[in-house]
Amino acid sequence: MKLTKEQILEIKDQQSRTSQTKRVTAPELEKILYEAVPVLDHGFIRVIDYMGDDTSIVQSARVSYGKGTKKVSTDSGLIKYLMRHWHSTPFEMCEIKYHIKLPIFIARQWIRHRTANVNEYSARYSILDKEFYLPKNEHLAAQSKNNRQGRGEVLKGDQAKKVLNLLKQDAERTYKNYEDMLNERYDGSVVNENELGLARELARMNLTLNTYTQWYWKTDLLNLMNFLRLRADHHAQYEIRAYADVMLDTLKKWTPITYEAFMDYRVGGTEVSAKGKLIVQKLIKGEKVDMENSGLSKREWNELMLAFEMHEKLVQ
């Protein structure tokens, strides 16, 4: 992880400030406010600001004044009820803002969640950092044979070394060409005093997708959980999951009761279709059920069996 001198000074300044407020605060989140938490090789996540906590959700649900009920157990019961029955609006009352440094190819995947306010580093205005994401060996894998958007067997030995070298060489070569086209080095020096530099908005098109970018990403608690439900899942791409795991920890520090309900009903729970429900009911009664007479496709059947850890009933 690399922070600029300006960012380091900004963080020190932000963390040195003290202020009084009548608004609710999350003590555990306050402890890491503004701190840059490392992700991948050069990335990071910082919590910049937030609004509300668990009591804000309770207050909104009851449309009452103050901090809601005094008993944490009562608040917990209500939040779990809201989560269990998909009553989502009260969770929209809390918001959080992150500063994130991430590879461009992950940013393009991330931006598909169109439920946040985003302001990205402008490569039309500034020169992008000379930093590229290079996977560790254990994350270099072949294309999965049964999942078109997933990874399969890990590459080893000379093949892994060859791929890493290609990634590094291509990134360094295109960045050098980027500086040459700009006629300006990353450190501010001029390449050739007798030439004009290409406009930054054009020169950037040559960069590789593992180049790092940065943005501010602000969202409400409901949409943060929707994001984490997909991106913290073990099926998600490793690189975006690494960011989601850090954000999951900030969720725990921010709204611990909501985090517990989220992990229980969203992450640890499972959805069952009407047909799936009938199959589970029959299995509980001891009735014999197989895929052929279940009315489910092979994929649906296997997903249902895996959800209830009935591996012996999987269909190959």
Active site members: 231
Contact 42, 1 (CB under 8 A): yes
Alpha carbon distance 40, 277 (integer Å): 41
Task: Supply φ then ψ for residue 148, to 5 degrees.
Answer: -65, -20
Please give the C-alpha separations between residue 225 and each of 88, 114, 232, 245, 251, in angstroms, as whole numbers.
11, 14, 10, 12, 9
> Which residues make beta-bridge pairs with 117?
218
For residue 91, give both structure tokens.
């969770």
Alpha carbon distance 202, 181 (integer Å): 9
Residues 112-115: contacts with CB within 8 Å, 24+ apart?
113/223, 113/226, 113/227, 115/219, 115/223, 115/226, 115/227
Alpha carbon distance 252, 275 (integer Å): 35
| The residue type at 183 | N
